[in-house]
Structure 1
Amino acid sequence: MAVALGNASLLGIGYLLLGRWKPAAFAVVGTGWLLNLTASTAETWCEILLLLWWAAGIAHGWFLARRRAEQVVRRGQRVGALAVTVAVLLTAVLLRVDAYGIEDRVNEARQGGDCERAVAAQGEVGWGHRLAGAPVVEPGDAVVEACHRLERAASRLATGRSGSIEDLERGFDILAGVLNKPGNEQTVRTVLDSFLDGLPTKDSCDTADITEWLRGREPTRDVLDRSAIAATRMEPAALVGCGDDLMDEDNWQQARAHYQHLLDEYPDDARTDQARNGVKKADLAIELGKVRDLVEDTTGASTGYCDTPAKYSGAPPYRKGFNRAMFLGDTEYTDQLPSDWRTGDPTKAALVVCADTAKNGAAVETCHYENDLSEYLTHEVTFYKVKIPLKVYELRTGKRVDPREVQISGGSCPSVLHYEYYGTYDYGPGSEEFVSPSKSDVRDAFWPVVKR
């Protein structure tokens, strides 16, 4: 009986009582290997194998003791064997019971969505629990691993809140992977809720990008789909806020896109009037920017705005009476116009006037001038009005309006004709000359252009 009890300790003590050292050593090695196998694999079949090993050791000890009945085991040895066996078995039972308690706390924390508490509970598992109840504590290891993955997901999502869609996608991929394992719904919900509670962010454009991605995410029919519902609730305000921010940064195209997105996706939202006003402001800013670029690129009557006119709907209306204008192209004569007729600001101009190079207009008078080479052969010079071909555009519509030209009057046939010649020989003045207009002549010629 003492031998069987000694072997029940799994330490081969029964064999030692019989003085059989080799079976005792084999029993210890076998027990150690089986315990290591059970702890490392955490499989139930390993525990069954260990139980069979335990039963085999008891049976073998009983069998050997009966064959050697003549060998007397002292009372003290019997009591010692019993004490060791009871201590081993009691320790194993207590450790296993404690392992069940730990795993109950782990499961309770996981069901409550509290990863921190679950990890802390699983942290109580020691090597003794794994030896006495590896299959019991092993599920808790999976919970800890899931919680570590959720911690990485939370970190990715936190970075995603700053507008990094790549981190946002990675965070949701991790959540989906954890959710594929049964029992993790509440812990995933906790991480997701924490992320959503951080929305909207201080940056409306980041929030708009995030909500757009959340709404466009493929539904998975699980707890993660709650993000799309939250995004729908937050996106309208984010779109308007981002549009306003982009307008302040002169990023009118993107601003308009955000306003229009709200009108397309949320036609019944209370912010639609604000979005419509934003679209109008953005359109005006886009038109104005285009006009200014074209004006800046204008170097003549066939370039820039003069070649590709564009409208600016915010320009003053082209109305009856006087209309202020931007004068482009050849400015030799238009620079002589009164300053209150001219402006370089498209927001103050009703017209854009493109002046081409001056040409001969109507003939005014032909005069004869003395020829230094011959008193009988005079220089015949005809004076012409200054004809300025024009392209006149109504800035508000970008459409061309009349007149197509102006002719500037002026003095002709001066008593002394000043002219320039090139080379070494003076052939006299040319046969065609412009009249000499005064500022009032220029103003009178251009008055029909600015007056409707």
Structure 2
Amino acid sequence: MDEPAYAADEPPEVRAERDPVAVAVGNASLLGVGYLLMGRRGLFFAAGTVTVALVWTAVSVAETWCEAVLLLWWLLVVAHGWLLARGGLKRRRLGQQEPAPLAQLHPAPPGPQGPARLGQWLRALAVTVPVLLVVGLLRFDAHAIEDRVTEARESGDCVGVVTAQEDVWFGHRLVGAPQAARGDVAVEACGRLDEARAELSAGLLDADVEALGAGYAMLSALLKEPGNDKTVETALDDFLGGLPTDDACETVRITDWLRARKPGNDVLDRSSATADRTAPAALRGCGDDLLGEQQWTQARSRYRQLLDEHPDDTRTKQARSGLRKVTLGIQLDHVRELVHDTKSNATGGYCAAPAKYSGAPAYRKGSNPALFVGDDEYTEKLPDRWEAQIPEDAALIVCVGTASFGTAVETCPYRDSDSGGPTRNVTFHKIRVPVKAYELRTGKLVADRSVQIGGTSCPYFLSYYGVAPSAEYVEPSASDVRNAFSSIVNR
């Protein structure tokens, strides 16, 4: 049997070939289109699966190395498709018979020609170009958004950061996960910065040092992360710009905390300088407010703090004046308490422990206003101009004791009108009143004697209860009382 032979002008059957460039372009879409053009469905599904896995990893991890791996995979499938298609051009489907002599074989065709090649290119480009165009545009937009986020962050504008990041959608995360993730980090940092701002605002509102501590701890933590310097600085400036507050004493508590804060060698240390500038006025204002509320001890503490910590400040003169007023207030309160505790017989209270009030009127020649304490039976008849109603108006504190019989003035006989009994002699005496007078400005004793009050004696009728008395007081007039106390009030 004769062996079959190819006709001299008939080429051998050749497997349908795919252009390497078309296959490479198809695979450049990362969708395995090149493999599909070659009819390699297994490779198509395998490449697609790897691509999806790598893209998902890039989106989930959002690290640059994931994009690098994805780029290597892209180069690999492009190169593999090109090489695979190029090798296919050299294959022929031959029969099972012995190969024909070399001289009878036709040369291998160079691949698809003309319209076939063009058609392959167009199909590959129809998929790959839109994919690469969309990917390129989305990545460009993702970088643009990242630039806007960075610009806003570097200017300390957290609102701008959030606004810019709001333009990110799933497409950006699919093709530019690291850029989107960096924006997310910036937004999250701004969220924590808002929490710090809230704590600092609470600290300003109520001088809550615990809130201040929490706010500064958050700012310090943010400063340890790259990119937050400007936003933290802006938040700090807003907080410090709220000083001083409307309440001077609350401002003092805040500045005290800021000055006592341990330095961190960062932008937060600027707080101390602001506290140093703000504290003097706040200390003086707080001292004045406490002085007005008669909280003497607290006011004195603030004035002394101003003098001790800011001795060169221009407000030290007012602080010294405030301290003098505080001293006077303390003295006056003490005098008031002593006067209130003085008993009606001029014992206890001021009469037992006299104290000074340096703000009292001077004890001088002439008439001196006096505050009479103790027995007031006769002092009520003194002229109003002699008497001070409150301690701060008095130059003298006069302790008036219980009256007793003084010098005898006249003895007169009396008989009971209804009995016709014997005559009884009644001796009339001046009224002796023990008096101690203290100069209020110094608390020193300036008079310690008894005054005797004169008056009329031997009235026509003498009323009494029980046994007839043998001695009686004269009946003093207002002028008699005034004359008796004149030597005490007038110097």
Q: TM-score, normalised by structure 2?
A: 0.75
Name the counterpart of 1:269. Answer: 313
Aligned pair 1:192/2:212, yes or no? no
How many Å separate the matches in 1 of 2:401 and 2:39? 125
Aligned pair 1:353/2:398, yes or no? yes
Change (3 A) 1:307 1:340: same
SS at match of 2:386: coil
Name the counterpart of 2:59. Answer: 39
Name the counterpart of 1:370. Answer: 415
Name the counterpart of 1:423. Answer: none
Aligned pair 1:434/2:478, yes or no? no
Structure 2: which 5+ residue stretches go unaligned? 1-19, 94-110
Q: Is the 1:390–1:405 Cα contact (8 Å) retained in structure 2?
A: yes
Aligned pair 1:325/2:325, yes or no? no
How many Å separate the matches in 2 of 1:104 and 1:244? 53
SS at match of 1:407: strand
After superposition, the C-alpha distances for 1:121-145 in whole angstroms (9 at most, x for unaligned) are 4344332232222223322322222
Change (3 A) 1:83 1:399: farther
Aligned pair 1:147/2:190, yes or no? yes
Query: What is the letter of the counterpart of residue 325 of structure 1?
Result: A
Change (3 A) 1:325 1:9: same
Query: What is the letter of the counterpart of residue 277 of structure 2?
Result: R
Name the counterpart of 2:178. Answer: 135
Q: Is the 1:211–1:234 Cα contact (8 Å) retained in structure 2?
A: yes
Q: Counterparts of 1:24-423 in structure 2 under 5 Å?
A: 24=44, 28=48, 30-48=50-68, 50-51=70-71, 54=74, 76=119, 79-166=122-209, 167-201=211-245, 203-248=247-292, 253-292=297-336, 294-295=338-339, 300=344, 301-302=346-347, 304-306=349-351, 309-361=354-406, 369-370=414-415, 375=421, 381=426, 383-420=428-465
How many Å separate the matches in 1 of 2:468 and 2:51? 127
Aligned counterpart in structure 2 of residue 11 of structure 1, from 28, 31, 34: 31
Change (3 A) 1:42 1:369: same
After superposition, the C-alpha distances for 1:303-331 in whole angstroms (9 at most, x for unaligned) are 55445544221111122343220112321
How many Å separate the matches in 2 of 1:278 and 1:450? 32
Q: Which moved more, 1:399-408 or 1:130-139?
A: 399-408
How many Å separate the matches in 1 of 2:360 and 2:303? 23
Query: What is the letter of the counterpart of residue 274 of structure 1?
Result: Q
Q: Is the 2:202–2:208 Cα contact (8 Å) retained in structure 1?
A: no
Change (3 A) 1:139 1:306: farther
Change (3 A) 1:182 1:379: farther
How many Å separate the matches in 1 of 2:413 and 2:33? 147
Q: Is the 1:379–1:428 Cα contact (8 Å) retained in structure 2?
A: no
Superposed displacement of residue 214, structure 1: 2.4
SS at match of 2:438: strand
How many Å separate the matches in 2 of 1:15 and 1:172? 60
SS at match of 1:328: strand
Q: Is the 2:207–2:251 Cα contact (8 Å) retained in structure 1?
A: no
How many Å separate the matches in 1 of 2:208 and 2:427? 76
Query: What is the letter of the counterpart of residue 39 of structure 1?
Result: V
How many Å separate the matches in 1 of 2:278 and 2:220? 23
Q: Is the 1:111–1:186 Cα contact (8 Å) retained in structure 2?
A: yes
Q: Which moved more, 1:51-60 or 1:236-245?
A: 51-60
How many Å separate the matches in 1 of 2:381 and 2:40? 127
Name the counterpart of 2:8. Answer: none
Change (3 A) 1:104 1:178: same
Structure 1: which 5+ residue stretches go unaligned? 421-426
Name the counterpart of 1:424. Answer: none
SS at match of 1:402: strand
How many Å separate the matches in 2 of 1:29 and 1:290? 92
Cα-Cα RMSD: 3.8
How many Å separate the matches in 2 of 1:23 and 1:361? 136
SS at match of 1:403: strand
Q: Is the 1:322–1:450 Cα contact (8 Å) retained in structure 2?
A: yes
Percent of counterpart pairs with the same letter? 55
SS at match of 2:384: coil
Change (3 A) 1:177 1:294: farther
Change (3 A) 1:351 1:81: same
Q: Is the 2:357–2:441 Cα contact (8 Å) retained in structure 1?
A: yes
Superposed displacement of residue 239, structure 1: 2.9
How many Å separate the matches in 2 of 1:418 and 1:175? 91
Superposed displacement of residue 350, structure 1: 0.5
How many Å separate the matches in 1 of 2:305 and 2:71? 69
How many Å separate the matches in 1 of 2:40 and 2:360? 111
Change (3 A) 1:70 1:248: farther
After superposition, the C-alpha distances for 1:321-380 in whole angstroms (9 at most, x for unaligned) are 43220112321110011222112033331001132333444566666643677845x656
Q: TM-score, normalised by structure 1?
A: 0.81
How many Å separate the matches in 2 of 1:256 and 1:110? 47
Change (3 A) 1:307 1:38: farther
Q: Which moved more, 1:356-365 or 1:267-276?
A: 356-365
After superposition, the C-alpha distances for 1:220-250 in whole angstroms (9 at most, x for unaligned) are 2211111211221232233334444555555
Superposed displacement of residue 111, structure 1: 3.2
